[in-house]
Chains A and B, each alone.
Chain A
């Protein structure tokens, strides 16, 4: 590694890169098997927790608060992670190339989260007699539209993953034999790398990426409006859906930083995922962390300064009341730590620094989802005109803890299994980068010359 680039990988021949990544893709190492086994056991524990929770029925929404928090947490982190492939791809940033597939593969976790989402529909009350973004529409509007949004988001994520993997599936087909070759031949959909196929893949990825971005923002808008704002009487907060979407962008970067660290450290991809990726993402993480504060403050100051009784009660519910310790934890983990660490270039330009900040944000966002969703699920009378009494904090029971462990393990398990279907490092994008980049002498320096095709 030199000059912040993945020099070692780029110095190899394209065929070496293909062979190396496909070999890692094929291997079932003992470490991988152990990881899958542990995650599977933890996931089963979550299933037990879910069964215990089911015994309580769906009448008491507050009992499902932690369940809702973990589902939205996965929506905020894992399902937002493909943005780390989408945004730099639209901006034609080359550092994305080794990590774009790892980001897109979180689309598989979306499928798992879609299953977790189903019980939430039974907890959402009818819109009759309460304020919702659906006004006088059919009483089941949020149920229908939220489900459609989640389904389209997941389908779009999977389509984007598959469309972007076709050349690598063809490479896996050409470098394998037997049943494995048959499987990858089917997944590669007859990819031969013709001009037309390349033209189509670029346009498909571009269109799906734009769609995914729009669906992600739209889904967050719906979930934040229907599962938080709509359940708290008198809470009228136009920035909240945008704040949740922004929080998803911040968490997507944090998710990818931690994923990249794991891939580098324990999966043998250090040749491909280097300082360049961590450095680029840490700059974006600093920007989104500052925006996190800005969006939070923009909402807070209006309520705090206005001194309206309803708004003061909302502040008490989600900030200064029973969830104050959780709010402080979130504030420190999602804003103070990223700010204090990432303002230093030495920290940004390292592997460990951004990873530590990524972990901090992932934990902070988890607490934030608890603060917002458990508190909103604690409100019993959703048809009241205004919030007059702030309910006490709801503490998790054993079922909640098992559900949280199971949901997070299930997400990890689905991702781990997906790495054996799709090569986790994008082969064709790295090989393309090798074509577009040369090192050359410029006066007394050696510089990188980068081709910028249309």
Chain B
């Protein structure tokens, strides 16, 4: 059932600018808490850089652990923005309106956080320069452009640039509203940021065209980012279970699965924290739930193909690895948790409209998905490396150290911290989208019933 609420423009401004113009106590408490976790992560990173990578659990043959798992996880979360904003904008889905900004901002912050991980992972961050940028031409030492580890930063920074532009273009009308409601230096900052927005027909047209163009242009970048991340693994032939042709679309759809789930989590929190019940309604969770059923089932099909064709060759090293992943403690426990949380608990629940319309249940199931998707990346990366060598005496295992755990926890705190700061400076729900939605909302009488209707955009 659609639960439309009729709202005046003035009320929309008042409600949605509450996050920027009011200063509730919970906001300071939250910023303080995530700031502390972040601080612990910063100190841990500093300690690791000082003492060396030996303070982590990384050791031969498992040289990629929590940091790279977390890197892939955050790149995955960053797929929320484009999926929600670009695709729903291009398909003119009305329910996108309250969701877009949060998804786009989550993309930018998740991507920034993800990009930090390879830097931290090097242990000596300044050495990243040798790895990713050309240096020492006189000795003929160049970056290996044939390595996916070089394609990665290019894709990520292109995506980050595109996503930031995407957020900025969609912010312009709202920045002008903020300009008109502030004074002093803040007013000047918003004046500069809104680029002289006056809301003329030409400006609206340009903003709409820019949004559509960016939506279309960013889609290939969006696909390329996680494909290239997947090729970091899949082009390698030395690690069993990594050399799989399905990896690129499997990673992309997995990223969308976890990204859209993260948007659901964020939407629920926004509704609770800022009391935006009139804007973020059960029908929006219902639509996201339906989308998630399709996305997660496609992801599960690709996962099935990946596992099936892993063992299809019936080669003993791969069979041994899969046995370890699925049947050996503690990997078996992680594998079961992964399957249950990423698919078998949430998806059957989402089939029920009552669940999709329950904000609490959607919140908790979306959290479950991301627990599962984090474990999925961990189970792809670590067991494969632990069994990388053909001789059993060179097999190994991996136990994360407290330093790695703190840095991973800090990455979640960093995204939360940045989002909270953003909410203090910019509205998390686009004001102009809400107002446009109100203008387009109509009602038609069909027979004896009044049916919600919309003006169709051409």
> Chain A residues in contact with chain B, CB under 8 A?
3-4, 131, 133, 135, 217, 221, 229, 236-242, 290, 294-295, 298-299, 301-303, 305-308, 435-436, 438, 442, 447-454
Q: Known pairs A298-B247, A448-B456, A452-B454; list 15 more (Cβ under 8 Å).
A: A133-B312, A135-B311, A236-B309, A238-B310, A239-B249, A294-B249, A295-B249, A298-B248, A298-B249, A302-B235, A305-B235, A436-B444, A436-B451, A447-B456, A452-B452
> CB-nearest residue of chain B relative to A136?
B314
B314, A135: Cβ atoms under 8 Å? yes
B2, A131: Cβ atoms under 8 Å? no
A451, B444: Cβ atoms under 8 Å? yes
Distance to closest chain A CB from B392 (angstroms) = 23
Identify the stretch in B40-48, B55-63, B119-127, B238-246 within 8 Å (CB) of chain A at 4 or more residues: B238-246
Complex: how many Å from CA A116 to CA B244? 34
B223, A449: Cβ atoms under 8 Å? no
Distance to closest chain A CB from B2 (angstroms) = 7
A239, B245: Cβ atoms under 8 Å? yes
Return chain B residues, CB-CB under 8 Å to A131: 312-314
CB proximity to A under 8 Å, residues B280-308: 301-302, 305-306, 308
B246, A451: Cβ atoms under 8 Å? no
Return chain B residues, CB-CB under 8 Å to A448: 455-456
B456, A449: Cβ atoms under 8 Å? yes
Return chain A residues, CB-CB under 8 Å to B306: 238
Return chain A residues, CB-CB under 8 Å to B245: 237-240, 298-299, 302-303
B456, A241: Cβ atoms under 8 Å? no
B302, A242: Cβ atoms under 8 Å? yes
A133, B247: Cβ atoms under 8 Å? no
CB proximity to A under 8 Å, residues B137-152: none
Complex: how many Å from CA A438 to CA B444? 8
Return chain B residues, CB-CB under 8 Å to A221: 305
Return chain A residues, CB-CB under 8 Å to B243: 302, 306
Return chain B residues, CB-CB under 8 Å to A294: 223, 227, 248-249
Query: Of A217, A242, A303, A452, which is within 8 A of B453 by CB?
Result: A452
Q: Which of B244, B301, B444, B451 has the most CB of A within 10 A?
A: B444
Interface string of B214-245 (1 = CB under 8 A from A): 00000010010001000100110100000111
Return chain B residues, CB-CB under 8 Å to A435: 446-447
B458, A3: Cβ atoms under 8 Å? yes
> CB-nearest residue of chain B relative to A448?
B456
Distance to closest chain A CB from B95 (angstroms) = 10
> CB-nearest residue of chain A relative to B230?
A298
Return chain B residues, CB-CB under 8 Å to A290: 220
B248, A453: Cβ atoms under 8 Å? no
Distance to closest chain B CB from A199 (angstroms) = 15
Return chain A residues, CB-CB under 8 Å to B354: none
Complex: how many Å from CA A229 to CA B305? 13
Distance to closest chain B CB from A434 (angstroms) = 11
A306, B235: Cβ atoms under 8 Å? yes
Return chain B residues, CB-CB under 8 Å to A236: 309, 312-313
Return chain A residues, CB-CB under 8 Å to B237: 306-308
B29 at the binding interface (Cβ < 8 Å) = no
Return chain A residues, CB-CB under 8 Å to B454: 449-450, 452
CB proximity to A under 8 Å, residues B186-235: 220, 223, 227, 231, 234-235
> CB-nearest residue of chain B relative to A4?
B458
B399 at the binding interface (Cβ < 8 Å) = no
Return chain A residues, CB-CB under 8 Å to B234: 302
19 pairs from A and B in contact (CB 8 Å cutoff) = A131-B313, A221-B305, A237-B245, A238-B244, A239-B246, A239-B249, A242-B301, A290-B220, A294-B227, A298-B227, A299-B245, A302-B244, A306-B243, A447-B455, A449-B454, A449-B455, A450-B453, A452-B452, A454-B1
B249, A454: Cβ atoms under 8 Å? no
Return chain A residues, CB-CB under 8 Å to B312: 131, 133, 229, 236
Known: A436-B451, A447-B455, A452-B2. A242 touches B247 (CB 8 A): no
Complex: how many Å from CA A196 to CA B304? 40
A238, B456: Cβ atoms under 8 Å? no
Return chain B residues, CB-CB under 8 Å to A298: 227, 245-249
B14 at the binding interface (Cβ < 8 Å) = no
CB proximity to A under 8 Å, residues B416-458: 442, 444, 446-447, 451-456, 458
Complex: how many Å from CA A453 to CA B220? 34
Query: Of B235, B248, B305, B455, which is within 8 A of A241 by CB?
Result: B305
Return chain A residues, CB-CB under 8 Å to B446: 435-436, 451, 453
Return chain B residues, CB-CB under 8 Å to A454: 1-2
Complex: how many Å from CA A409 to CA B178? 66
Complex: how many Å from CA A236 to CA B318? 13
> CB-nearest residue of chain B relative to A454?
B1
Return chain B residues, CB-CB under 8 Å to A438: 444
